[in-house]
Amino acid sequence: MAELDIRTVVGGPLDVNTYVVGCDGGDSCVLIDPGAEEPHVAEAVGKRRVDAVLLTHAHFDHMLHAQPWLDRGAKLYVHALDAQALRSPALNLSQVINTSLVLRRPDVELQEGDVVCEAGLELTVLHTPGHTPGGVCYLSGDTLFCGDTLFYRSYGRIDLPGGDAQEMFASLARLMQLPAQTVAYPGHGMKTKIAWERGSFA
């Protein structure tokens, strides 16, 4: 498996982690949760082509600056259960910042177990509802992009529309079964490891 090149750009009104992910030395990449401002993400992208925008879920802060990349030809991926929120400011919560964020329909509506093959990467989709109905994590080897499911010593809010405590704790329990050395890159805050989080959610 090719070595991952992961660059983190923090931005947007809620300090979202946007991940620029490619294969080491590759000429293309994907963006996971482009909530950070386009000029800063462009610096991390460099001369590479952005093949796809992958959303862990469809809240505004994780896709606020997706449109410039879609305009340049990137494909849009989101879980089927969050697809409706792309086009609904009420569901994607963009009304919180007094705007009405609407994106186009996704190119791919993801399901559990799908494998995203873009920019030389193979990212397996884990459906992890709880924060939103269509929340997902993307897994490549011992690297997990976990959105707002798992944070360092914490987890995503379950009191927003579509949140569900029972589903969240089931999703967290599932993630705790991943290998201990798995490094988790969350939607906000510092990265963590599954080994560090085991026992946190009992």
DSSP codes joined into one string, 10-45: EETTTTEEEEEEEETT-SEEEEES--S-HHHHHHHH
Joined tokens for residue 193: 């490891």
Domain residue ranges of the chain, discontinuous segments joined by +:
4-197
Kindly indicate whether the domain formed by 4-197 is annotated with CATH number 3.60.15.10.
yes
Tell me, what's the pLDDT at 75?
A: 98
Cα Rg for the chain, rounded, in angstroms? 15
* CA-based nearest residue to 74, from 41, 39, 49, 103: 49
Blockwise average pLDDT, block size 10, the chain, 202 residues: 90 97 96 98 98 98 98 98 97 94 97 98 98 98 98 96 96 97 98 93 62
Q: Is the pTM of this model over 0.95?
A: yes
Q: What are phi and psi of 35, to 5 degrees?
A: -95, -15
Tell me, what's the pLDDT at 200?
A: 80
Tell me, what's the pLDDT at 199?
A: 81
Tell me, what's the pLDDT at 141?
A: 97
Cα separation, 62 vs 65, whole angstroms? 8
Q: Which residues pair with 23 in a beta bridge?
A: 4
Beta-carbon-side half-sphere exposure of residue 201 (alpha carbons within 13 Å): 25
Tell me, what's the pLDDT at 1?
A: 60
Tell me, what's the pLDDT at 4?
A: 96
